[in-house]
Structure 1
Amino acid sequence: MTSDKYYIPYLIPAAILTLAFAIRLPVMMRFWRIDPNVRSVGGLLLLASAVFYFGRPKTLALLNSSTGISNFAAPLVYTLLTMFCASCLIMIIHWRGGDPRRVRRTNWTIGIAYAAVVAGLWTTFAFADVPVERLRDLDTYYANTPWMREHIMLYLGAHTIACAITAAVTWAWLREVTGWLRSGLVLLVIGFVLNLCYDSVKLTAVFARWGGHDLDWLSTYVAPPIASVCALFIAVGFILPHAGQALQGLCTDYYHYRCLGPFVRELAGLDTGSVRLPRRSPISRRLVQRRTQISDGLLRLQPYTDPGVRERALAEALARGEAPERAAATAEAVAVVAAVAALRDGVEAGAGDGPVAGAAAAPDLVAVAKALRRSPAVLSLRARSGPSDHPESVTS
Structure 2
Amino acid sequence: MDGSSYYIPAAAMGAAMAFKAPALLRGRRDPLLRSVGALLTLAGLVFLFAAPPTIAAVNRATGIRNVSAPIVYCLLSAFSASCLVLIINWRDGPSEVTRRLARRWILGYTVVGVTLIALFALGETPVERLRDLDTYYANTPYIREMIVLYLASLSVAGIAMNVMCWRWAAQVRGRLRAGLVIIALGSLFNIPYSAAKFTAVVARWHGADLDVLSTDVAPVLASVGAQFTAVGFCVPPACQRIGDTWHTWSTYRRLGPLWRELRPVAAPEERAVRISWWSPVELQVTQRESDIHDGMLSLYPYFDSALRSRAYDAAVAAGSSPGDAQAEADAAMVTAAVRAKAADPEGRVISSANTATVPGGSDASSVHGEGPRDLVRMSIALRESPVVAAARGGTGHADNGP
The interval holding the TM-score normalised by the smaller chain is 0.7 to 0.9
1:340 equivalenced with 2:338 (yes/no): yes
Structure-1 residue corresponding to 2:80: 85
Match of 2:274 among 268, 277, 291: 277
Q: State the distance in 1 between where 2:362 and 2:332 align.
A: 13
Q: Equivalent residue of 1:10, what SS?
A: helix
- The residue identity in structure 2 corresponding to 1:25 is A
Structure-2 residue corresponding to 1:56: 51
Q: Which runs of 5 or more residues in structure 2 are unaligned?
A: 397-402
Structure-1 residue corresponding to 2:153: 158
Quick check: 153-162 or 257-266, which moved more? 257-266
Question: 8 Å contact 2:333–2:391 — kept in the other structure?
Answer: no
Question: 8 Å contact 2:332–2:392 — kept in the other structure?
Answer: no
- The residue identity in structure 2 corresponding to 1:140 is T
| Count of residues paired in the alignment | 381
Question: 8 Å contact 2:193–2:221 — kept in the other structure?
Answer: yes
Q: Equivalent residue of 2:380, what SS?
A: helix
| Length-normalised TM-score, structure 1 | 0.85
Match of 2:16 among 3, 8, 20: 20
Q: Equivalent residue of 1:267, what SS?
A: helix
Q: State the distance in 2 between where 1:360 and 1:79 align.
A: 56
Q: Which runs of 5 or more residues in structure 1 are unaligned?
A: 387-396
Q: Deviations along 1:94-150, whole A, 9 cap, x unmatched?
A: 234445444444333333321221122122222323233222222223223222221
Change in Cα spacing, 1:342 to 1:26, as seen in structure 2 (3 Å) is same
Structure-1 residue corresponding to 2:382: 372
Question: 8 Å contact 1:307–1:352 — kept in the other structure?
Answer: yes
Q: State the distance in 1 between where 2:184 and 2:372 align.
A: 43
1:71 equivalenced with 2:66 (yes/no): yes
Q: Deviations along 1:44-68, whole A, 9 cap, x unmatched?
A: 1111101111111111112222333
Q: Deviations along 1:255-305, whole A, 9 cap, x unmatched?
A: 222221221111123257754433143221221222122133234434433
Structure-2 residue corresponding to 1:359: 369
Match of 1:177 among 161, 168, 172: 172
Q: State the distance in 2 between where 1:213 and 1:315 align.
A: 89
Structure-1 residue corresponding to 2:399: none
User: Which residues of 2 match residues 127-276 of structure 1 at below 5 A?
Assistant: 127-271=122-266, 274-276=271-273
- The residue identity in structure 1 corresponding to 2:5 is P
Q: Equivalent residue of 1:352, what SS?
A: helix
Change in Cα spacing, 1:322 to 1:141, as seen in structure 2 (3 Å) is farther
Match of 1:286 among 274, 284, 287: 284
Structure 1 residue 374, shift from structure 2 partner:
4.0
Question: 8 Å contact 1:357–1:363 — kept in the other structure?
Answer: no
Match of 2:26 among 30, 40, 45: 30
Structure 1 residue 326, shift from structure 2 partner:
4.9
| Length-normalised TM-score, structure 2 | 0.83
Quick check: 106-115 or 359-368, which moved more? 359-368
Quick check: 340-349 or 240-249, which moved more? 340-349
Q: State the distance in 2 between where 1:377 and 1:284 align.
A: 31
- RMSD of equivalent CA atoms: 2.9
Change in Cα spacing, 1:220 to 1:361, as seen in structure 2 (3 Å) is closer
